[in-house]
Chains A and B, each alone.
Chain A
Amino acid sequence: MSLQTMTYLVVGFTFALYIGIALWARAGSTKEFYVAGGGVHPVANGMATAADWMSAASFISMAGMIAFMGYGGSVFLMGWTGGFVLLAMLLAPYLRKFGKFTVPEFIGDRYYSRTARIVAVLCLIIASVTYVIGQMKGIGVAFSRFIEVDYNTGLLVGMGIVFVYAVLGGMKGITYTQIVQYVVLIFAYTIPAIFISLNITGNPIPQLGLGASVVNGDTYFLDRLDQVVTELGFAEYTTQARLSTLNMVAYTLSLMIGTAGLPHVIIRFFTVPKVKDARSSAGWALVFIAILYTTAPAVGAMARLNLMETIKPSGGENLVYDERPDWFKKWEGTGLLKFEDKNGDGRIQYSAKADTNEMVTVDNDIMVLANPEIARLPNWVIALVAAGGLAAALSTAAGLLLAISSAISHDLLKGVFMPNITEKQELNASRIAMAGAILVAGYLGFNPPDFAAGTVALAFGLAASSIFPALMMGIFDKRINKEGAIAGMIAGIGVTLLYVFQHTGIMFVASTAFLGDMKPNWFLGIEPNAFGVVGAIVNFGVAYAVSRVTQAPPVHVQEMVESIRMPAGASAAHAH
């Protein structure tokens, strides 16, 4: 069977599954729409959270970034997993005990303020919308590369699928599709990794293969990789740091705090029956995430070696351009791989020096997508990778869209503007909000703004500097009041946005970067993407100081804090 037919079959089958689940898991109440009825098993929720969390970026881009950043890529590995420890210990159980539907709702109640709730809604919407653009692009790209329909058609099909199961099923439909999507994506990620690890090291477990020796020889794989890259003038793979130690610490910490503060992840913990389940569910989520995240370093490193050795086999001559393999030609066609014969010898030279390097473009994303072809794996594996990439993008998009639509229908409409609507009306409103969110996200996917590439950093920066500190202090410090929380959130976001924009341009329009994207101008040498943690520290400091000089929160709020600190008496998530 041709690769084309096989891909249609595998992707078509997974899509049929998602639609089937949508029809089976229709939401009949707001509780089902917002929190899947509150009865999701902690292990099932862990799996859904893993799919929710792992986006097109985790699936497609991360291993490629690690392949080229080496040790420096560890900031993503630690940052995007370590946040779950913070989530499990600092937020999830308490927010579950609070027992309502959305993150802004907690902030509104805890800080007895509509203003705080609206500020939180704004932060949530900005963070989630910027994040969803990347997923929409991922869907379009995956379709266009694997199914060979054009980007727009692919995006339209993707939007249609999300529309069916998210609008009909809400959180209930999303939860069950995310579980299936996790299974699809984890097989799609690990199967090629196992084959490649077997090829290179003879060890079928990639996590062990990375530390094993290569098949034909007694050198360790990582030593071989270090040797191959340094010979060509690249930094040593296992020690290549990202800028400075301080920058690595700040980057990792920003990603951790941002992870714990992203609303679409937090609301997943509202769906489990008990506080106890929220704690263990975070652990299960991380187990399922760790399967991919501990495989990724092996995928990245092995893909790097494969690429280098295809171009220059050890002890052999550089590859003759006319004899390049098929996958090389295929990816040249996409523009993600580009060769320029600078010295005119018809062979490919790959080196760290810009004037002699002839591999002028090697896109990060190729590493995962081309891996199965480089390793000559069977067609069904390549088809599975296509379905896996789509599953990763769809599941994250759906989670984000739910966070956005519930903030609009539950926090803005029901909470602020039209408190008297019935449950039935609210359910309809949430469906309309969902449909609207999908259309907006789709529009931004069709016309990706110039700033799309920088927006994930913005989403993490906002979550880290506004949402996380407000939630954490609301639970751990009874004295934090309305004035402190609002001032803290605004100061935190303000500092982060100012820093990101002054170095990368206002809304990432480069010409407006008034301080320039230059290292000498960076505060303590911290890159803009790593600045969320500084915003968070400012938020904590301002909120603490302002609260101490203004009036203490009312008694009923202090009692509420007392009650969320104690697991007993948790009821299922409810509206009032």
Chain B
Amino acid sequence: MAFKSKEDAKAYWSENIRLMLVLMVIWFVVSFGCGILFVDELNAIRIGGYKLGFWFAQQGSIYAFVALIFVYAKKMGDLDRKYGVEEK
């Protein structure tokens, strides 16, 4: 089992990197962005008793991390099948 061509191998890898970069940007925004850098601005908004920035720092970022990994696993599975390199 291998890539059909050199171009395929290149395309697979660059799609993988693109997916990774998009997810890493989200990873950065939910934790460092919402939880630290813009925490004061977000704290002006409230959900129930939570200030939004505080919620991201102590709750929201963690939920987002879990979602990110499962999205990555799902999308990579699709990508493997698209290029025929999934495990049998």
The answer to whether B72 touches A222 (Cβ under 8 A) is: no
Q: Are A85 and B27 within 8 A (Cβ)?
A: yes
| Given the contacts A78-B31, A568-B1, A276 and B86 also touching, CB distance less than 8 Å | yes
Question: C-beta contact mask, B1-37 vs A, less than 8 Å → 1, else 0?
Answer: 1110000010011001000100110010001100111
Checking A211, A239, A245, A274 against B37 with a beta-carbon cut-off of 8 angstroms, the contacting residue is A245
Asked if A207 and B59 make an inter-chain contact with CB atoms under 8 angstroms apart, the answer reads yes
Contact B73 A567 (CB under 8 A): no
Cα distance, A290 to B39, chains bound together (Å)? 21
The reply to whether A570 and B49 form a contact with Cβ atoms under 8 Å apart is: no
Evaluate whether A276 and B87 lie within 8 angstroms (CB atoms) in the complex, with A210-B49, A566-B3 already known: yes
Provide the residues of chain B in CB contact with A252, threshold 8 Å. 31-32, 36
The B-contacting residues of A in range 277-313, CB under 8 angstroms, are 279-280, 282-283, 286-287, 290, 293-294, 297
**Cβ-neighbour of A280 out of B24, B27, B73, B80 (below 8 A):** B73
A486 within 8 A of B: no
With a CB–CB cut-off of 8 A, which chain B residues contact A85? 23-24, 27, 65, 68-69
Number of interface residues of A (CB under 8 A): 50
Partner of B65, one of A82, A210, A223, A562: A82
Q: Which residues of A contact B86 (CB under 8 A)?
A: 276, 567-568
The 0/1 profile, CB within 8 Å of B marked 1, for residues 195-226 of chain A is 00000000000010011110000001111000
A121-165 contact mask (Cβ, 8 Å, vs B): 1 or 0: 000000000000000000000000000000000000000000000
Residue numbers in A under 8 Å from B48 (CB-CB): 211-212, 220
Give per-residue flags for B51-88: 1 if the beta carbon is below 8 A from chain A beta carbons, else 0: 10011011101110110111011001100100011111
For residue A238, CB closer than 8 A to chain B, the reply is yes
* Docked CA distance A73–B62 (Å): 14
Instruction: Select from chain A the residue with minimum beta-carbon distance to B47.
Output: A211
Interface pair B54/A239, CB less than 8 Å apart: yes
* Interchain CB contact under 8 A, A212 and B49: yes
From B23, B50, B76, B88, contact of A222 by CB (8 A): B50
Residues in B whose Cβ lies below 8 Å from that of A290? 62-63, 65-66
Establish whether residues A249 and B37, one from each chain, have CB atoms under 8 Å apart when the complex forms. Answer: yes
Interface residue A248 (Cβ < 8 Å from any Cβ of B): yes
A residues in contact with B69, CB < 8 Å: 84-85, 88-89, 279-280, 282-283, 286
B1-A569 in contact (CB<8A): yes
Q: Which of A82, A213, A279 contacts B31 (CB 8 A)?
A: A82
| A256 and B68 alpha carbons, distance in the complex (Å) | 15
Residue A406 is within 8 A (CB to CB) of chain B in the complex: no
Q: Give A407 to B24 CA distance when docked, in angstroms.
A: 31
Q: Are B57 and A569 in contact (CB under 8 A)?
A: no
Minimum CB–CB distance from A381 to chain B (whole Å) comes to 24
Asked if A77 is at the interface (CB within 8 A of a chain B CB), the reply is yes
* Chain B positions within 8 Å of A451 at CB level: none
Min CB distance A304 to B, Å, is 13
B49 in contact with A220 (CB, 8 Å) = yes
Q: Across the interface, do A81 and B32 meet the contact criterion of CB distance under 8 Å?
A: no
- A222 to chain B: closest residue by CB: B49
| Chain A residues whose CB sits within 8 angstroms of the CB of B16 once the complex forms | 565
Question: Is B20 a contact of A74 with CB atoms below 8 Å?
Answer: no
Cross-chain contact A78 with B23 (CB below 8 angstroms) = no
Q: Which residues of A contact B49 (CB under 8 A)?
A: 210-213, 220-223
Write out the residue numbers on chain B whose beta carbons fall within 8 Å of the beta carbon of A331. none
With a cutoff of 8 Å between Cβ atoms, the chain B residues found around residue A568 in the complex are 1-2, 80, 84-88
From known contacts A207-B59, A211-B48, infer whether A283 and B66 are also in contact, taking CB-CB under 8 Å. Answer: yes
Judge whether B61 and A78 touch: CB under 8 Å. yes
- With both beta carbons as reference points, the residue of chain A lying nearest to B72 in the complex is identified as A89
CA distance A562 to B10 in the complex (A): 10
A-B contact pairs, 9 of them (CB 8 A): A66-B58, A77-B62, A210-B50, A276-B73, A276-B76, A290-B65, A294-B63, A567-B86, A568-B2
What is the interface of chain B, defined by CB distance below 8 A to chain A? 1-3, 9, 12-13, 16, 20, 23-24, 27, 31-32, 35-37, 39-40, 43, 47-51, 54-55, 57-59, 61-63, 65-66, 68-70, 72-73, 76-77, 80, 84-88
Binding site for B on A (CB under 8 A): 66, 71, 73-74, 77-78, 81-82, 84-85, 88-90, 93, 207, 210-213, 220-223, 238-239, 245, 248-249, 252-253, 274-276, 279-280, 282-283, 286-287, 290, 293-294, 297, 562, 565-570
